[in-house]
Structure 1
Amino acid sequence: MKRIAAVALTLAALLATTAGALAATEIKLAHVVNEKDAFHACALKFKEIVEEKTGGEIVVQLFPNATLGDERNLLEGLKMGVIDSAIITGGPIINFMPQFGVFDLPFLFSSPEHAYKVLDGEIGRKMLADMEKNGWKGLAYGERGFRNLTNSKRPVVTPEDMKGLKIRLMQNPVFVDSFKALGANAVPMAWTEALTALQQGAIDGQENPLNVIVAFNLNESQKYLSMTRHAYSPNVILFSLVQWKKFSPEQQAIMEEAAQAAAKYNRELDNANEAQWLQELKDKGMEVVETPDLAAFRAAVQPIYEKYQDKFGKDLIEAIQNVQ
């Protein structure tokens, strides 16, 4: 009888464990960069909080390195419900949601604090709410950061130095128009393709925040770095609206809380490490222009504001610029 009772208890324990495993819901969270990047740190923080707060009811599986596709494919997958969640650079969103491109206007944000106040305030919250029209649930704004120019040809101090340089850009018309205005040969392409093109010398340069330049060892193909800080890029923690509706209000609240905390962690990581990243690139041999002629750069891109003010709304642009 004791043996039968022991076997019964063991079977009961196994069934309970199996039931618990079956009860867990798995979320696939994708991004296109590697595990050294701040995006991945953001994803890990989201995973940690969701799994802890739900007691393992929700398990977050991470897919870095564009294993589920480039950002445009991820956005389409979210819309169709075949991808659960993703961390996306702001730039590609404009192809589906044109008004989001207002954040990509060159030199729009004066500082990280200015960007955070806009994104976390009324303007940013409305933009997240509008994402539902595209089948996305916008949860929070993390950070890609202020973008800087690298190239393999020469130091860039003024817009004149950009003449003819083949620069990879996100597949985003605001970025393309901005770099054409600066005299560059603008080459929009997915990031996964850009890495190969840089290594092969098919393009001369690219523009990204310091964390990306470090994470992808771009110093190996790029000799020159100019701290232009020409645009601020948020990332957006997104969920498929189709999948979002399958969760209970309590689970949704936990995921929103986790996204906000992960976004804050992402920003803090960038701000804490920027000086270290810059020094690391110098130590690896990059020639850094720390004070390019930003007045000349701003003057060169003024036509971009004139071109896009009707599309984005002059009042919205001014409202962003006036946030204190």
Structure 2
Amino acid sequence: MKKKLSVLLCMLLVLTLLAACGEKQPAPAAGGEEPAAEEFEPVKFRLAHVVNENDSFHTAAVKFKELVEERTEGKVEIEIHPNATLGDERTLLEGMQMGTVDMGVITNGPIANFVPEVAVFELPFLFSNREEVYGVLDGDVGQEILGKMENVNLKGLAFAERGFRNLTNSKKAVTTPDDMKGLRIRVMENPVYIDTFQALGANTVPMAWTETLTALQQGTIDGQENPVVVIHSFKLDETQKHLSLSRHSYSPATIMMSLNAFNKLPVDIQEIMETSAQEAAVYVRGVNTEEEEVLLQELKDRGMEVTEVDVAAFQAAVQSVYEKYRGQYGEYMDKIQAQLNK
């Protein structure tokens, strides 16, 4: 009897072990570290920019925030800090590199000090219209350059828009490069802009935007260059009598974040961040296009004198800029021209 009982117990033990071996064990998380989306703890990110709430940067930031918070069901919350409350754009970029700032909407000019390739987009008179710009930014060239931001611990999410830039000044109407001589013009701290305006005969004053308004009010500089939306939102007509529609360069803006912060997110949340940024970028481009003529008319109504420029004369005057930067940006210049010529 005892022998039969022992045999029966052994059989039960074998069956139990076989059943245990047949059970599927949970697979480890990819890389062993990344949290599953359902286990992701809610997080709050600070997104900063240097302009006011009337500016297109803020429009892009608000749209991005709405899309991300809706699609993550509140797991990602974005807190917007406008008006340079967290620092100028260089400070914000350095903060994102170090992880003290999470996100930003940043003008292309300062980014070029960290990722030189982005400056190719701002070569003078490179683009004739918005359609050309968007095809390049959203195409292979733009996405390749956006990816290069990861080399400096930044994550470029999408190219939004600062827009086509125009010249303003307090002294005289400017229609040809000869009219530029002697004018002290604020430019971004970016070598392409410095070289462009020196080629046009201006005295360039590289300066952060946070300092520019005071300099214009005090008369230490005569003028500056920016898109119509900036000229309007900052009421530059109060210190600048003349607006020249030079459209001398197109300035992208990047919706971006700290690469370290991005890499801590689950893959599905990362995808939401990228698609939401691109949709916010497309949205703000549309808003800018619709509003520009309205804003321009309001500037005229407020007393600003608006003139067209001799584009051919300006283009001829800046050929030295292309010659100087061909060695640095030649590959991308050729790729852009090839796409524009399709």
Instruction: Tell me the TM-score normalized by structure 2.
Output: 0.87
The aligned residue for residue 247 of structure 2 is 229
Show the 5 A alignment for 1:127-166. Answer: 127-166=145-184
Write the letter of the residue equivalent to 2:296: L
Q: Are positions 1:216 and 2:234 aligned together?
A: yes
The aligned residue for residue 37 of structure 1 is 55
SS of aligned partner of 1:107: coil
**TM-fit CA distance, 1:250:** 1.2
**TM-fit CA distance, 1:253:** 1.0
- Report the Cα distance in structure 2 between the residues aligned to 1:61 and 1:24, rounded to whole angstroms: 13
Residue by residue over 1:50-98, the C-alpha shift from the partner in whole angstroms, topping out at 9 and shown as x without a partner, is 1111111111000000111111111111111111110001111111111
1:177/1:121 CA distance change after superposition, 3 Å: same
1:308 aligns with one of 301, 318, 325: 325
- Report the Cα distance in structure 2 between the residues aligned to 1:23 and 1:117, rounded to whole angstroms: 37
- Report the Cα distance in structure 2 between the residues aligned to 1:255 and 1:96, rounded to whole angstroms: 22
The aligned residue for residue 119 of structure 1 is 137
1:299 aligns with one of 311, 316, 319: 316
Tell whether the 8 Å contact from 1:142 to 1:267 is kept in structure 2 after alignment.
yes
- Report the Cα distance in structure 1 between the residues aligned to 2:121 and 2:41, rounded to whole angstroms: 41
Could you list the structure 1 runs, at least 4 aligned residues long, displaced by more than 4 angstroms after superposition.
none
- Report the Cα distance in structure 2 between the residues aligned to 1:282 and 1:132, rounded to whole angstroms: 43
Residue by residue over 1:211-265, the C-alpha shift from the partner in whole angstroms, topping out at 9 and shown as x without a partner, is 0000000000000000000000000011100111111111111111110111011
- Report the Cα distance in structure 1 between the residues aligned to 2:256 and 2:41, rounded to whole angstroms: 24
The aligned residue for residue 339 of structure 2 is 323
Between the two proteins, the alignment pairs up a number of residues equal to 301
SS of aligned partner of 2:161: coil
Q: Unaligned stretches of 5+ in structure 2?
A: 1-39
Tell whether the 8 Å contact from 1:139 to 1:236 is kept in structure 2 after alignment.
yes
SS of aligned partner of 1:228: strand
Q: Unaligned stretches of 5+ in structure 1?
A: 1-21
**TM-fit CA distance, 1:100:** 1.6
- Report the Cα distance in structure 1 between the residues aligned to 2:52 and 2:338, rounded to whole angstroms: 36
Residue by residue over 1:31-58, the C-alpha shift from the partner in whole angstroms, topping out at 9 and shown as x without a partner, is 0000000000000000101111111111
Tell whether the 8 Å contact from 1:109 to 1:321 is kept in structure 2 after alignment.
no
SS of aligned partner of 1:110: coil
The aligned residue for residue 280 of structure 2 is 262
**TM-fit CA distance, 1:23:** 4.6
Show the 5 A alignment for 1:37-116. Answer: 37-116=55-134
**TM-fit CA distance, 1:99:** 1.7
Write the letter of the residue equivalent to 1:53: R
Tell whether the 8 Å contact from 1:29 to 1:85 is kept in structure 2 after alignment.
yes
Q: Are positions 1:241 and 2:259 aligned together?
A: yes
- Report the Cα distance in structure 1 between the residues aligned to 2:312 and 2:152, rounded to whole angstroms: 38
Tell whether the 8 Å contact from 1:99 to 1:312 is kept in structure 2 after alignment.
yes
Q: Are positions 1:175 and 2:193 aligned together?
A: yes
Tell whether the 8 Å contact from 1:85 to 1:239 is kept in structure 2 after alignment.
yes
SS of aligned partner of 1:33: coil
The aligned residue for residue 289 of structure 2 is 271
SS of aligned partner of 2:280: helix
- Report the Cα distance in structure 2 between the residues aligned to 1:60 and 1:100, rounded to whole angstroms: 26
Write the letter of the residue equivalent to 1:167: I
Percentage of pairs with the same residue: 57
Tell whether the 8 Å contact from 1:119 to 1:141 is kept in structure 2 after alignment.
yes
The aligned residue for residue 16 of structure 1 is none
Taking only aligned residues, the RMSD between alpha carbons, in angstroms, comes to: 1.1
